[in-house]
Structure formats: C-alpha cells, structure tokens
Amino acid sequence: MSLYDDAVLVLKGYEDQEELRQVYLDHLAAHPDGVWKACHAGHVTASALVIDPARERVLLTLHRKLRMWLQMGGHCEPVDTSVAQAALREATEESGVAGLTLLPGGPVRLDRHPIPAPCHWHFDVQYAALAPPGADHAISDESLDVRWFPYDEVADVADESVVRLLEAARARL
C-alpha cells in the first residue's frame, strides 16, 4: 500500500473532527502528491506527543526555526510505509528516545496550520507515543532544546494546538 493510500485509509477511519477530516480528504483527492513536501498546495505531516512511562509528563522540543515548544513531528519521507510510521520515525529522530510505542487507536487529533511560502498548509496527523521506562532523550539538529514538562505546565510554554493534543492524548490514555 502506498503512503497516499494509507493516509486516505487512516483519515477515513478517524472518527473525530469530521469537518477537518473532510478537508484533509478533499485535499488528498485533489492532490495525489499531497503527502509529500513538494506539494505546494499543502501536504500531510505526521507528529507524536511523547508521554513519559508514568503518564505525568510530555517531552517537547524547542523547534529551531519556529522557536516554539512543540511535539515531535515533520514531513513524510519516501522510507515511510504509513502515516503512523512517519510519526514514530519523527518522534524517535527528534527526541532521541529509542523504543517509543504509539498509543493504539490511530491518530488522536488533526491540526491544519498555515506555513510560509512556497507551501501553504501542513495537514498534521497527530499521534501520541509512550516512552519506555528509563528512556534517555537527546537534542536533535532540528531542536534548540528537548525537555520533559508536567501536564499542568504545558499551557505555560506551548501554544493551543499542543494543549489540545495533550488533552486528546490524555483522553486516549
């Protein structure tokens, strides 16, 4: 199955955010290259909020370009066999945490946000991942910092999209 086909299947199976989910599906129907960064009308991205084993904190990255605390994530790559695998790969690369596992049940949220030209939109498919006990993290080239935050501190450092992702992930837990 192609990454495009997987994205369509994942989105058709996602039962929340019906209106936004349809925007994603319409975008992919109009853009067969809509999972790739080269699609300047916008493209699917994949991210994962990393949760500690005790389920009390999340690992956020201080994004080098945006200078914002965000979940781990990014563009789909040719090596990705699924959107979930892309989210897991990005989370592992950006956090340095080996052995992450995605929460079952597919994506926990969708978040569409504008980005600077030449592209116009990121259609982010957001997952949540559990870190294994004793997990070590590292700062990647894409980050200025990587740090654990207790749930109740996330709203103080991150924007509303991360707060909504945390709420959805906690509901899934």
**Residue 61 sits in a domain of what CATH number?**
3.90.79.10
The distance in angstroms from the start CA to the end CA of the chain is: 29
pLDDT one digit per residue (tens) for the chain, 173 residues: 999 999 999 999 999 999 999 999 999 999 999 999 999 999 999 999 999 999 999 999 999 888 999 999 999 999 999 999 999 999 999 999 999 999 999 999 999 998 877 778 999 999 999 999 999 999 998 899 999 999 999 999 999 999 999 999 999 99
Range of the domain at 124: 3-172
Nearest in space to 85 (alpha carbons), one of 72, 99, 102: 102
- Rounded CA separation 51/41 (Å): 32
Residue 139 CB partners (closer than 8 Å, separation 6+): 96, 145, 146
How many domains does one find in the chain? 1
Nearest to 44 by CA among 58, 67, 26, 71: 26
Phi, psi of 143 (to 5 degrees): -125, 150
- What's this model's pTM, rounded to 2 decimal places? 0.96
Beta-carbon count within 10 A of 86 CB = 28
